[in-house]
Amino acid sequence: MSEAGTEELEQMSDEEKAMMEQWESMAEDGGDEDNGAAEFAAAMGGDGGDDGDGGTRILNQEEIDSLLGFDDDAMGGSETSGVMALINSAMVNYERLPMLDIVFDRLVRLMSTSLRNLTSDNVEVSLDQVSTVRFGDYMNSIPLPAMLSVFKAEEWDNNGLLVTDSALIYSIVDVLLGGRKGTPAIRVEGRPYTTIETKLVEKMVEVGLGDLSSAFDPLSPVSFALDRMETNPRFATITQSGNACVLARLRVDMGDRGGRIEILIPYATLEPIRELLLQMFMGEKFGRDSIWENHLTLELYKTDIQIQAILGELTLPLGQMLRWKKGTQLVFNTRVDEDLELRCGHFPMFKGPVGQKQGRIAVRIENYIPPEKDDN
């Protein structure tokens, strides 16, 4: 030990010397039992003591993956950890749109009936999960081979994606072509889908899109039309890779056969009805309160309004009007046999002839004036 080190050691208090000796003894015990202090010092890049080989302790690959959140347990679970949790914290949670749960529940019921009519078989459709994903991450995770159907929401002027996995493709082909029950569908891997297979799956996709349109109808009428079908995810790009999308995973069971359907709708597609999707479910009216509507209607019927009968209208210069005096007469173009116009504020409502009743001027309502349509 150098002279400087000796002087520093002499200046230490008894408590500091005892702590230093304790650390040295803990570092020397680094055979089979690793202490927490040495591991912490090694992880932080310090000299936490020598291990059995005389070198500093280095984190292995599993510990690094666990720290960053890339290990299999973290990725397979419901929550991520480490750096991945920070990255995904900016994602929009689909639960901010509670009406989507109601829409997809309706879709499950409608598709169960429609696919039973299509296949003449006992079909059960269930909703596995509704989550939020980034478009690029989902496209990279699609298990191939699969069939990707790009559909367009006509009223919203945007696109969505419906993915049918390989198991459901061969199952639906087997069912529609009369395959026996209880026998698994024959799969031929490593070849593209034939025209017959594509047409049969296209028929099923059109049925599913029709049901999806019906599921949105109580909320907002929309028509989902099939645009094209792709087998390569690169040709099914409908939005930027970093954009958030709603992903609904459906399970279709047909006895011993079946597969999955996944519906991907970007948040940009749902933007026109975002306000409707934010409302809470209140009965079958989808957010409408019929009791309040009826009460408001009754109160409106009791509202007092003023109706004006226009005897005539005349346009004059301001200078002429300023020269009016008591006794000045104005001549209107209205004749006695013409109908008068009744207005509520500035809006024309009715027309009818003028007369007298009980010594007062009266107007009999005969014609209704429809409101003018606003071109904007």
- Whether 88 has a pLDDT exceeding 80, the answer reads no
**DSSP code at position 191:** S
Question: So what's the pLDDT on residue 263?
Answer: 92
Question: So what's the pLDDT on residue 43?
Answer: 47
Comparing 144 with 6, the larger pLDDT belongs to: 144
Structure tokens at 79: 């929550």
Question: So what's the pLDDT on residue 291?
Answer: 83
Helices first, then strands: H and E counts in the chain: 14, 12
Question: So what's the pLDDT on residue 359?
Answer: 84
Query: pLDDT digit string (tens) for 137-166?
Result: 888 888 878 889 999 988 888 899 999 988
H-state helical runs in the chain: 3-11, 14-28, 36-43, 61-68, 72-76, 82-88, 99-119, 135-141, 166-176, 195-216, 267-270, 274-278, 290-301, 318-322
- With beta carbons less than 8 A apart as the criterion, state whether 173 and 200 touch: yes
33: confidence class by pLDDT, cuts 50, 70, 90: very low
102: confidence class by pLDDT, cuts 50, 70, 90: confident
Which residue in 327, 260, 361, 286 sits closest to 100, CA to CA?
Answer: 286
Query: pLDDT digit string (tens) for 199-252?
Result: 888 999 999 999 999 988 888 888 999 888 888 888 888 888 888 888 899 998
Over residues 20-33, the mean pLDDT reads 60
Question: What proportion of the chain, given as a percentage, has pLDDT over 70?
Answer: 72
Instruction: Tell me the CA distances in angstroms from 219 to 97, 175, 216, 274, 288, one per residue in order.
Output: 13, 34, 5, 11, 10
- With beta carbons less than 8 A apart as the criterion, state whether 261 and 168 touch: yes
Domains of the chain: 15-88 (no CATH), 94-285 (3.40.1550.10), 308-368 (2.30.330.10)
- Whether 334 has a pLDDT exceeding 50, the answer reads yes
- Whether 83 has a pLDDT exceeding 70, the answer reads no
Question: So what's the pLDDT on residue 122?
Answer: 85
* Side chain identity at residue 16, one-letter code: E
Which residue in 8, 240, 267, 19 sits closest to 137, CA to CA?
Answer: 240
Distance in Å from the first CA to the final CA of the chain: 91
Mean pLDDT estimate for the chain: 77
| Length of the chain, in residues | 376
Structure tokens at 202: 């296209």
Structure tokens at 7: 């002087």
